[in-house]
A and B are shown apart, each in its own frame.
Chain A
Amino acid sequence: MATKKLETPLLDQLESGPWPSFVTGLKKLADDEGKSYSPIMKSLLGQLEHSYETRKGFWKGGTVGVRGYGAGIIPRFSEVADKFPESSEFHTMRVMPPAGMHYNTKVLRELCDVWEEYGSGLIALHGQSGDIMMQGISSANVQPAFDAFNEMGFDLGGAGAGVRTSMSCVGAARCEQSCYDEAKAMRMVINNMLDDMHRPSLPYKFKAKFSGCANDCVNASHRSDFAVLGTWKDDIKVDQEEIKVKVAELGRKGFNDQVVNMCPTRALSLNDDDTLEIDNQSCVKCMHCINVCTKAMSVGDEKGVTILIGGKRTLKIGDLMGTVMVPFHKMDTEEDYEWLVELSENVLEFFADNALEHERTGEMIERIGLVNFLEGVGVDVDPNMVAHPRTSSYVRMDDWDEEVAKWNERKGTAAAE
């Protein structure tokens, strides 16, 4: 039966202009006569045009899942199914991509084939949490589609009050600024939390993200509860001959303006012979000079991670940036990666036990104080955790001497190492 030609005058206006148009793709699927998704996408386009006309959304949630899991499918039922019946069920499947979002064409084509058979033929690469967003499938097809993806070695991601899908930057695969094996850390940490991803029963969502340096290409500092950022402990590496080349390229003024004077801790100084002096003890590993002088400067050898805790967006108490909970931990050996897994497990467990319903990690810390959180997860206080020490004198400090003794003991242990 021929379906009548769909009119989408508003959406059509999004087909002009040089940037690739998602509308053209939707229409291609709708016009693909004979395919199972064609009538679904015709109907979907109708509903989307209706949204553009009324400036309102028309999807509601529900309960759809796969056997054994309590998350990973985002159910969507149309509120205007009487007008657009073929897309009345248009659920999204969140599928976790390979760490670093690497694909070969064989696996991408296989993903497309499965989605062509069971779903809408529409895929978003990727969602804001890092999922492959398989957009548009009926309730009945969710299980067979999942089985097919799962047989390929793919698993569903997170949703609701559970551990969410994670992201790691390209990192060690193609970046000299990488300070640890981001993909390995991400897979070890997340794959240890799959129970809390697939059967969510946490107070609220929990996100971890993994960036190889302070450039934070996966936005971990603000967009994750548990942010792992690469850094290093020894000196920045400098090739002084290459510095001279860079000075010649930018000019002395240019080099001073663009490199030296932009150092946030004034740790750089250009010598009279066009070599660079670095006050490494003042360096905070911000990456700026290394970003500008990619050939002359690079990260040190004693690499590891800084961990920030509690980043999140507005709801409910306002935005929170992640703050330091581990200033530095080396990432050399298998034991170091196991340490990271154990730490993440302790944090998740503390969150599960102590957060109120619908409270994120950062909000919990705001409520109970960083010190209580640190004691709960077994991490010692460190001056790197604060922008500055307290300014208010309204505090009881009865056991000051005991706390000083703990500090001295830690200092002694560190000195002995």
Chain B
Amino acid sequence: MSEAQEAPRMPDECGVPDPMPYMHPAMIKNYGAWDWHDRPQVGVLHHVAKSGDEVWTIKAGTQRQMDVYTIRNLCDIADEFADGHVRFTTRSNIEYTVSDEAKVQPLIDKLEGEGFPVGGTGNSVSMISHTQGWLHCDIPGTDASGVVKSLMDAMYHEFKHEEMPNRVKITTSCCQINCGGQGDIAINIQHTKPPIINHDLVANMCERPAVVARCPVAAIRPALVNGKPTLEVDEKKCICCGACFPPCPPMQINDPEHSKLAIWVGGKHSSTRSKPSFHKLVVAGIPNSAPRWPEATEVVLKILYAYKEGGRPWERMNEWIDRIGWPRFFEVTGLPFTKFHIEDWRGGRNALNASSHVHL
């Protein structure tokens, strides 16, 4: 035994790393001094700096959840073809930047040859932003990674071509917390049954007042079952949102049969043209069909191709629908309009049509 134990290592709270040591030299040199850009081909951005310097950025799709071999392979490609630098986009695409135009095509060929599709630029369908799912999350209703793989297989052409009216950002989420975010199309879990409660475990595992406070509709109340303190749910009030499940795992919300997928459209983060907007419900009750989710894929493609067909240049999904109107949206997509499409949450009246503007 050592006499004087070494003091334990304490963290160096270094925070967000400085990107400069990792950045491509042409980006460092022209930082904040770019002039214009264009897109010479799908998957390639061409930026020209005020200094006259030019760079070409090649964007490729990845599976996001990557093994070290895949990452090292992407590094090998960067070392051989792209000056040893990469960056990632918020949608898990990888970007290689080169300052020599002659390097563009060999890099594209190499990436495609290694199975990484080049695309995702301009008015294409980019990679779906998504969450963890069954691989790692503690509350997942589905496996976003599998849904995404299935959908991206089906939309592969649309990733590699710029044929959409505007960019299409798609998201998936494994619960109604919606970690995937707003999307032109969003594929999210929607539970349809109240939680099934294991009353023997609630007292030990859950901070009951916090669980009661978390319910958006005040449907949870303290109860005594078999002499044990627990929680019960007013099933008439319950909206099956699953908010009680994360802080109280014995309130199981996930159900192989009754946890369904719902599809939403018209979410938009940017303030470009129209103000940012939330996505709106269009379809629910889609079965959670692992491992390939064919029913969800079919609906997504139906919406996507209706937009591709009917959208005018630069209209995002929400802007296309604003122009043609919801009646026409449901008509051209062949999707049903039900009482569930009418908002009854707080502020819901703002979602009603307070005018004589009707589409006939």
A interface list, Cβ under 8 A from B: 10-11, 13-14, 16-23, 25-26, 28-29, 44, 48, 51-52, 54-61, 66-69, 74, 76, 90, 92, 96-109, 112, 115-116, 121-126, 128, 130, 133, 135-136, 146-147, 150, 153-156, 166-167, 170, 172-176, 178, 181, 183, 186-187, 190-191, 194, 198, 214-223, 229, 257-258, 262-264, 284, 286-288, 291-292, 294-295, 298, 313-319, 321, 357-358
Contacts and interface: CB of A to CB of B under 8 A. Distances in A.
Interface of B: 8-19, 21-24, 27-28, 31-32, 34-38, 47, 55, 57, 61-72, 74-76, 78-79, 84-90, 92, 94, 97, 115-117, 129-143, 145-146, 149-150, 152-153, 156, 176-182, 210, 213-214, 216, 241, 243, 249, 254, 256, 259, 269-276, 278, 288, 290-292, 312-314, 345-347
A22 B214 CA distance: 35
Contact of A55 (B84, B85, B152, B290): B290
B278 A17 contact: no
A358 B156 contact: no
B270 A214 contact: yes
A25 B345 contact: no
B66 A124 contact: yes
Contact of B181 (A76, A97, A313): A313
Contact of B15 (A167, A194, A220): A194
A313 B279 CA distance: 11
Sorted from nearest, which 6 A-B pairs have the closest CB atoms?
A17-B153, A25-B67, A51-B134, A191-B15, A55-B256, A176-B34
A227 B116 CA distance: 33
Contact of A316 (B9, B37, B216): B216
A269 B14 CA distance: 51
Contacts of B68: 29, 112, 115-116, 121-123
Contacts of A21: 63, 149
Nearest to B67: A25
Contacts of B347: 318
Contacts of B32: 172, 178, 181
Contact of A125 (B14, B64, B117, B256): B64
Contacts of A147: 9
A132 to B, nearest CB: 9
A106 B176 CA distance: 39
A172 B15 contact: no
Nearest to A10: B291
Contact of A128 (B13, B94, B131, B272): B131
B17 A153 contact: yes
Nearest to B127: A19
Contact of A29 (B67, B136, B179): B67
A99 B16 contact: yes
Contact of A57 (B63, B139, B272): B139
Given A96-B16, A102-B22, A174-B27, A258 B314 contact: yes
A291 B64 CA distance: 28
Given A25-B69, A104-B22, A219 B177 contact: no
Contacts of A154: 14, 17
A112 B72 contact: yes
A258 B176 contact: no
Contacts of A292: 314
Contacts of B156: 17-19
A198 B136 CA distance: 22
Contacts of A52: 134, 143, 146, 290-291
7 contacts: A29-B67, A57-B137, A59-B137, A126-B90, A174-B27, A218-B90, A313-B178
A399 to B, nearest CB: 29
A219 B15 contact: no
A92 B136 CA distance: 8
A128 B130 CA distance: 7
B67 A121 contact: yes
A240 to B, nearest CB: 15
Of A122, A125, A147, A194, most B-chain CB atoms within 10 Å: A125
B346 A318 contact: yes
Contacts of B8: 67
